[in-house]
Amino acid sequence: MASPGILLTLESLSGCLRLRLDGQESGGRLATDRLLGVVSALAPHQRRPLPLVIEGDARCFSVGHDLAELCRFDGTAAVAYSRLGHQAVDALEQWPGVTIALVRGPCLGPGLELILGCDLILAGPRARFGLPGLALGLMPCMGGLRRLAARCGPGVVRDLFLAGRHLGPRQALRHGLANRVVGPAMGAEECAHRWGRWEAGAVHAIRGIRLHRIGHVDAGIESDLFAHGFATGECQRRIGQV
């Protein structure tokens, strides 16, 4: 299934599904229409226990928010965006098969929040992970802080969010964010063949341990925190200065 208007494709490969955030021109920016695409693309397939590989293009997974869209937000639009992001991550966490994020380049902001809903994160040699929104007054809005802390601990959360640092592939592996570092030629089918052959019961059990560590993610509180800067106009002011 191709959705050119939202730069997103879902296709069946040999023994798996691939969800690709096409983004050579857009940088894989997670605007509202792309998040809607993730939610709508996965919904009809929720009962198929196939491995799902989510990836960007060869150079970039996602550079983060679409700043041009954020400039038009008010508080209400920001709440709606945050809640939609939570739906996209929930769709990954509810997928009946293994979910694998294949990251070959930058994976920032909401892009990182999205893949934290996956069972496995594979980092190519040019992968880069970060949460750089604080300088613009942007709070993570898709449950990313809690999921990142569950995977890596609070020190990594401080480094990525408060200090604005990035993790390369080896650092991400060392801190537990990435599960494997892979070569630049790694493709979705090979990912699914190597790491996607788990029984549905095993997926449910292993994922359950991870979700238990994360605990309850309150989408309402997060969306309100994200929206506050837009309701006051502070986020629009900072973004407009970029």
**pLDDT tens-digit readout, 48-80:** 789 999 999 888 999 999 999 999 999 999 999
Residue whose tokens read 């880069």? 128
2-186+199-240 sits in which CATH class? alpha beta
Contact indicator for 10, 46 with CB cutoff of 8 Å: no
Contact call for residues 146 and 117 (beta carbons, < 8 A): no
**pLDDT reported for residue 23:** 64
Cβ–Cβ under 8 Å, residues 126 and 102:
no
Residue keyed to tokens 């750089």: 132
Q: Give pLDDT, residue 2.
A: 40
> Which string of b and e fits 185-223 if b means at least 16 CB within 10 Å?
ebebbbbbeebbebeeeebeeebeeeeeebeebebeebb
Segments of the chain scoring below 70 in pLDDT: 1-6, 23-25, 46
Is 134 within 8 Å of 162 (Cβ atoms)?
Answer: yes
Residue 4 Cα distances to 1, 31, 43, angstroms = 10, 14, 18
| pLDDT at position 24 | 60
